[in-house]
Amino acid sequence: MIVDKAWNRNRLRCALSDALSGRGHVASFLPFLLTVYCLIALFLCGFGPATIVDRDVAPRQRYTVGQLRQIQQAHAPPPGISAVSVLVYDLESGRELMEKASHLPVSPASLAKLMTALLVFEQDRLAERVTIQQADLIGEATMGLSAGEELGVEELLWGLLIPSGNDAAMALARHHAGQVDAFVEQMNLRAGDLGMRDTLFHNPTGFDADGQVSSAHDLLTLVRLLWEYPLFREIVGTSSTTVANRELQSTNRLLGSYSGANGVKTGTTRQSGQSLIAGVDVGGHQLFAMVLGSVDRYQDMRLVLQSVRGNYSWVPLRMPKRPTALDRLFDAEGNRWILRADGINVDPAAMEAIPFFERLLAGWERGELQVFRRLHPPPSGVWTTGMPAGILEWRLGDSLIATQRLFVQ
C-alpha cells in the first residue's frame, strides 16, 4: 500500500506538471475550471454588493410587479394622444399626477398672455383708463377695439383672457410700461424671478417668433400665481359675457361642456399647434391639466382627464359609521365604553381640528392606508363620559399623515 500511494503521488505531480507546462489533456480543461471558479465567486458575493437601507429593518411593504406597472401607466399620458407635452397637477396636494416632457420648450402661442395678465394684476392699476391707439390693432384674435376709444384696464383684461384679444394685450403692455418692448423686458425679468428657465418672451401676445418659448412646467408656475386673484378666476371661468358693449366668447370650449371645468386658457398658432390649459374642479379640489402642441387638444384633454380620474381619487379619513374595534374599549370591570372622534389634525402639532380630512390617493396607495388607535388610560384607571381617550393615527405606509382625537362617549 505504501508503494502504491507513493506511485499515485508521483503520478499526480506529473499530471499537474503537464497541466502547468501546457502538456497533456488537462490543459484543455482550464477554460472550464475558470468558469467554475467564477460562478463560485458570484455565489459567494451574492450577485452584487449589499443593499443599503436607511433603517435597521427592511421596508414592511414592497410594490408588486402589477403595482409598479400601474404606477408607470398612471403617470404617463394615455396612448394615442397627439400632444408633445402633458402635465397634470393637483393644487391642494401639490402633486404632479401625469407628466410628459413638461420641461420641453415649445412655442406658447396665446398662453404667453398669462404672463401679460400676471404683470397687470401685480401692478394693481385696474381702475386706470387706457386710450386705444392704432398700433394696438394688430389683428387675428381680437376683442374688437377701435383707435381712439377708451376702456378700463379691468375691461381689457376680460378682452385679453376670454377671446384672447391681441389688441387688448398690446394696449395693456403699452399702458403699463410706456412701450411694448419695455413690457416684454418686464415679462422676461419676471420669468427669471420665478425660475422659469424654459421661457423666453418676444411679445405680449404669443405670436410666433424665433426663440419665443415656454414649457408646461413654467406655465404651471404662472397659473398657480394667477389663481390667487379672484378676478382672474372669475374671468377665465366665464364662457361668454358682455364687456364695454362687446359680446365676448371664450376660446376655451371645455367651459360648459365638461363637468367641473372652470378655466383657464387656450393657445393656437401655426408653429405651436393647439394648446390648452384646463382648470377642473374635482369634488372641491382644483386640478390643472395641460396639453401643448396637440393636433386635437380637446380630445387629448378628455383622454388625459379620464385617465387621471381613473387612477386617483380623494379618500376621506373618518371614523367608520359601523361599530368596530376602533370605537370600543373595556375598563377593568368589563364595562364597555364607546369612543367618538372629534376631528382631524392634518399637522399633529396643530391645535385646530376639522371634521375629516381628505387625502389624494392613487389606486396602488389605497392598500397602504391604515389607522391605528393609541389609548391614553386615565391615572385612576376609571373612564368617564367626555374624557379624552387617546388618538387615531392615520398612516400611509410608514408616514403619519393625520391624527384624530378620541373621547369617551
By annotation, the residues acting in catalysis are 110, 113, 164
Task: Name beta bridge partners: 200.
Answer: 213
CB neighbours of 283 closer than 8 A, spacing ≥ 6? Answer: 314
What b/e readout covers 398-408, taking b as 16+ CB neighbours within 10 angstroms?
eeebbbbbbeb
At 236, which amino acid appears? V
Contact 368, 67 (CB under 8 A): no
Distance in angstroms (rounded) separating the CA atoms of residues 45 and 39: 10
DSSP-derived secondary structure letter, 253: T
DSSP string, 208-236: --TT-BB-HHHHHHHHHHHTT-HHHHHHH
Closest by alpha carbon to 167, among 148, 186, 190, 188? 148
Distance in angstroms (rounded) separating the CA atoms of residues 385 and 6: 96
Closest by alpha carbon to 309, among 371, 362, 376? 362
Distance in angstroms (rounded) separating the CA atoms of residues 304 and 254: 13
Closest by alpha carbon to 151, among 225, 244, 48, 237? 244
